[in-house]
Amino acid sequence: MEAEHYVGGLLGRAAKAAVKLAAMDGFEKNAVLLKMADLLEKNSAAVVKANAADVEAAKKSMTPSELDRLVLDAGRVKSIAGDVRAVALLKDPVGEEEGWTVPNGLRIRRVRVPFGVIGAIYENRPNVTVDIASLCVKSGNACVLRGSASALNSNRALVAALKPALPDGAVELVDTADRAAVDVMMKARGRLDLLIPRGGAELIRHTVENSRVPVIETGTGNCHVFVDADAGLDMAERIVMNSKTQRPSVCNAEEKLLVHRSVAREFVPRIVKSLRAKGVEIRACPETMKLVPDAIPAKEDDWYREYLGLIIAIKIVGGVDEAIAHINKYNSKHTEAIVTGSYDNAARFTKQVDAAAVMVNASTRFTDGGQFGFGAEVGISTQKLHARGPMGLRELTCTKYIVEGNGQVRP
Amino acid sequence: MEAEHYVGGLLGRAAKAAVKLAAMDGFEKNAVLLKMADLLEKNSAAVVKANAADVEAAKKSMTPSELDRLVLDAGRVKSIAGDVRAVALLKDPVGEEEGWTVPNGLRIRRVRVPFGVIGAIYENRPNVTVDIASLCVKSGNACVLRGSASALNSNRALVAALKPALPDGAVELVDTADRAAVDVMMKARGRLDLLIPRGGAELIRHTVENSRVPVIETGTGNCHVFVDADAGLDMAERIVMNSKTQRPSVCNAEEKLLVHRSVAREFVPRIVKSLRAKGVEIRACPETMKLVPDAIPAKEDDWYREYLGLIIAIKIVGGVDEAIAHINKYNSKHTEAIVTGSYDNAARFTKQVDAAAVMVNASTRFTDGGQFGFGAEVGISTQKLHARGPMGLRELTCTKYIVEGNGQVRP
């Protein structure tokens, strides 16, 4: 009940702020963003100090890479402020419209408007707090933010720094480690217009399965690269190495390699050598095992898994159709790539593979709002409703019909 | 477990059909639709006979208007076949695309594609079965349909008539009255891409609250008309009468009337007289009660209610801001209308009212896919995610990014 009362209060304030934000024009919103950036820099020392307390408390329990994601120093705060200024420069999607007139003279316009109040549940990277706050301000939405308990001091300091720039209630931090607060958010249908979970697979699964508020599912990427019969093998090696090893911990990294049987004997030993030189563990289908006898036999479960690390599973397939069938059975509908010289196979692969993004002769790592030219990224949607693939500012808005007449009634 | 096995089988067949439907071009899909229409007419007698059994069984329990929605005769079957032919004439949204090239030479295209498998849960109008089946075929989706138990014979005959025109599994009827089948559908995350409930408020609430599959919420309409100070009162009367009485049982009918205090003394008695002449019961705020002493005092709950019948609640307000605040507190975000001569008030109302559709000087009854020029209507979405307002074929599709390169990797 206490969480309901507390979070309910935040949601109420956010609802009032949403009305104000929706009424602000682009110049006003940009002025707020630039002030947010200035305030972050001005309060950098306080933020870094609060963060140090979080880092100190987390030292015992977190891995070095988890800890690295949590840490803020003056340089990182400056960089976050720079990101906020970059958001100010983006095009404002609010107010975009298309219109037409129907035979009875009614003029119908579909106008892009903010959602209202957006909730976010995320893990220990405190930069996400500022990231979502700035994207929501730019798109005219109020937001209620629930970061992880381990970053609570950092988030508190960040939001405190931002508040003087913002309309009251525009960015509300759920300032409690009580998990009941998350349940209240997930049940706040009618008070939260959208809920975005950002983080690990378990966080996302839990939110998607329990939320009664509309959710956008982001993130899980069991991404494949299929090396076709007539792929240029130099290009194939470059793409596989980049997809797998350039940043193995992220959702658009490659997890699986499918190789056409006709090039397997040449390509598999070669790519395995390069991958192992980068520390990648090889798991293999029975046919691949014959070419790489010291690999680890892949289990059925491997084909479903997102390793998010230096592991890859390799399977030899008979052609593009088998590759497509395998991918559509096991993938998480994020990003899939084909390396091929065949026009027909590229067309078939892009048409039939069910994923947010399908790459031809390019690294899976390009599925990214920045790389796509959106300037900012809210996350990468792996669902089909509303948004699919990298989400930019436009995906934080919805539409409203405005119909203007001069007394029309239905006959 | 039996429902899981049975519905699971339907979902599996639908998934296979979805791949086939997605690969069909517009000519092929239109040929299927025209054949569906022919088969409906050819099997009209069997459909009408099966329907008669449903009607006979329902006679004891249904109201005359419920029974009317259930009945199919030869004329209605012919009309349904005509609707299928009309869907064939609509523009196919699948394959629409926009594209751009980013500085590294990658060509990015966002292409409109079918969802895959769409589920529908609906009530006793058997025409909905054909309606959804034809819209899904046109948009390249397979569908799994769960109508009400009371229309099971009719739906069975309709789907049996359509099947010879369709790829195997393209339209699957959940041919059981077992309610467990609905639960399986709501939990079929990953097997159903979208679930659409169509029917009464209780059906929709139950689906929205229990589904783990992405849902589009349709239908509930607590719609207001606000008569402003300088409204032409003849136009105001015409719009209120049309919004309330032209078809009071539908979601875009008016439920509430807000009247500016400065015209209340003139307008309220006049509109009450006209409404009562059409059999409309008047519920009133305390101030309205003074002008209409024999009205029923409105309770707090009245302001939230969707009557779907010949009842209206009237409230006198001090101006456009009070009207907006009242609407945003009580409305169901469907359709709201202002009757005004003021440019400023029209602008403020359309900007600040939170609803799928906002009308200026037009009847609320125009929120409709047909009236908007979409040709067909899947339902009227009252949520903000993915689709808002009348949904046409395009709202039954999503997008996929196709990225084409010549060996690009991320630096």
* 10-residue averages of pLDDT along chain A (411 residues): 91 95 95 98 98 95 88 96 94 95 96 97 91 96 96 97 98 94 94 91 88 88 97 98 95 97 98 98 98 98 95 98 96 97 96 96 96 86 93 94 97 93
Q: What is the distance between the alpha carbons of residues B95 and A50, in angstroms, rounded to a whole number? A: 51
Q: What is the distance between the alpha carbons of residues A316 and B201, in angstroms, rounded to a whole number? A: 52
End-to-end, the C-alpha distance of chain A in Å comes to: 51
Which residue in B397, B400, B406 has the most chain A C-beta atoms within 10 A of its own C-beta, making it the best mutation to test that interface? B400
Q: What is the distance between the alpha carbons of residues B237 and B225, in angstroms, rounded to a whole number? A: 11
Write out pLDDT tens, residues B152-162. Answer: 999 999 999 99
Percent of chain B clearing pLDDT 90 (strictly above) = 88
Q: What is the distance between the alpha carbons of residues A52 and A70, in angstroms, rounded to a whole number? A: 9
Q: Tell me if A374 is assigned to some domain.
A: no
Q: Are residues A181 and A264 in the same domain?
A: no
* Alpha carbons within 13 A on the beta-carbon side of A324: 15
- pLDDT category at B107 given cuts 50, 70, 90 is very high
pLDDT of residue A376: 74
- Answer for the pair A318, A288: CB distance below 8 angstroms, yes or no: no
Q: How far is B119 from chain A (nearest CA, A)?
A: 14
Q: How far is A3 from chain B (nearest CA, A)?
A: 21
Q: Tell me if A382 is assigned to some domain.
A: no
Q: Are residues B360 and B389 in the same domain?
A: no
Q: Tell me if A228 is assigned to some domain.
A: yes
pLDDT of residue A66: 85
| Residue, of A51 and B65, whose pLDDT is higher | A51
Q: Tell me if A375 is assigned to some domain.
A: no
- Could B385 and A355 be called an inter-chain contact, meaning their C-beta atoms sit closer than 8 Å? no
Q: CA of A20: which chain B residue's CA is closest?
A: B352
Which of B216, B241, B389 is nearest residue A401 as measured by Cβ atoms? B389
Q: Tell me if A121 is assigned to some domain.
A: yes
Which of A100, A246, A355 is nearest residue B410 as measured by Cβ atoms? A246
B40: left (phi over 0), alpha (psi -120 to 50) or beta: alpha
Q: Are residues B334 and B245 in the same domain?
A: yes
Which of A208, A365, A403 is nearest residue B410 as measured by Cβ atoms? A365
- Answer for the pair A323, A354: CB distance below 8 angstroms, yes or no: no
* Chain A residues within 8 A of B360 when measuring between CB atoms: 402-405
Q: How far is A176 from chain B (nearest CA, A)?
A: 26
- Answer for the pair B243, B337: CB distance below 8 angstroms, yes or no: yes
pLDDT of residue A146: 96
Q: Are residues B147 and B15 in the same domain?
A: yes
Which of B363, B373, B399 is nearest residue A408 as measured by Cβ atoms? B363
* Alpha carbons within 13 A on the beta-carbon side of A70: 28
Q: What is the distance between the alpha carbons of residues B133 and B70, in angstroms, rounded to a whole number? A: 18
* CB-neighbour burial class of residue B20 (10 A; exposed 0-12, middle 13-18, buried 19+): middle
Q: What is the distance between the alpha carbons of residues B298 and B314, in angstroms, rounded to a whole number? A: 8
Q: What is the distance between the alpha carbons of residues B45 and B114, in angstroms, rounded to a whole number? A: 34
CATH number at residue A363: 3.40.309.10
pLDDT of residue A65: 81
- Could B401 and A358 be called an inter-chain contact, meaning their C-beta atoms sit closer than 8 Å? yes
- Answer for the pair B143, B13: CB distance below 8 angstroms, yes or no: no
Residue in A24, A279, A293 with CA at minimum distance from that of residue A139: A24
Residues 6+ apart with CB under 8 A from B104: B405, B408
Q: Tell me if B400 is assigned to some domain.
A: yes
- Could A360 and B404 be called an inter-chain contact, meaning their C-beta atoms sit closer than 8 Å? yes
Q: Are residues A197 and A267 in the same domain?
A: no
Q: What share of chain B is helix, strand, coil (3-state, %, to 5)?
A: 50, 20, 30
Q: Are residues A156 and A255 in the same domain?
A: no
Tokens representing A127 are 């930069």
Q: Are residues B118 and B14 in the same domain?
A: yes
- Could B354 and A402 be called an inter-chain contact, meaning their C-beta atoms sit closer than 8 Å? no
Q: What is the distance between the alpha carbons of residues A355 and A332, in angstroms, rounded to a whole number? A: 8
Whole-structure pTM value: 0.90
Count the Cβ atoms, other than its own, within 10 Å of residue A75.
10
Alpha helices in B246-394 (DSSP H): 261-277, 286-291, 320-330, 343-352, 369-372
Examine the pLDDT at B1 and tell me if it is beyond 70.
no
Which of A23, A209, A385 is nearest residue B385 as measured by Cβ atoms? A385
Q: What is the distance between the alpha carbons of residues A178 and A372, in angstroms, rounded to a whole number? A: 38
Q: Are residues B177 and B309 in the same domain?
A: no
* CB-neighbour burial class of residue A155 (10 A; exposed 0-12, middle 13-18, buried 19+): buried
* Chain A residues within 8 A of B22 when measuring between CB atoms: 351-352
**Region B367-378 average pLDDT:** 87
DSSP state of B343: H
Measured CA distances, B409 to A242, A245, A246, A361, B107 (Å): 6, 11, 9, 9, 14
pLDDT of residue B208: 87
Examine the pLDDT at B219 and tell me if it is beyond 80.
no
- Could B23 and A352 be called an inter-chain contact, meaning their C-beta atoms sit closer than 8 Å? yes
Q: Are residues B79 and B195 in the same domain?
A: yes
Instruction: Report the number of distinct structural domains present in chain B.
Output: 2
Q: Tell me if A386 is assigned to some domain.
A: no
| Residue, of B336 and A201, whose pLDDT is higher | B336
- Could A410 and B361 be called an inter-chain contact, meaning their C-beta atoms sit closer than 8 Å? no
Q: Are residues B95 and B190 in the same domain?
A: yes
- Could B212 and A209 be called an inter-chain contact, meaning their C-beta atoms sit closer than 8 Å? yes
pLDDT of residue A1: 60
Would you say how long chain A is, in residues?
411
Residue with tokens 């009071």: B248
Which of B241, B357, B385 is nearest residue A403 as measured by Cβ atoms? B357
Q: Are residues A259 and A173 in the same domain?
A: no
- Answer for the pair B197, B111: CB distance below 8 angstroms, yes or no: no
Q: How far is B288 from chain A (nearest CA, A)?
A: 25
pLDDT of residue B64: 87
Q: Tell me if B380 is assigned to some domain.
A: no
Q: Are residues B161 and B16 in the same domain?
A: yes
CATH number at residue B46: 3.40.605.10
Q: Which domain holds residue B254?
A: 223-371
Examine the pLDDT at B376 and tell me if it is beyond 80.
no
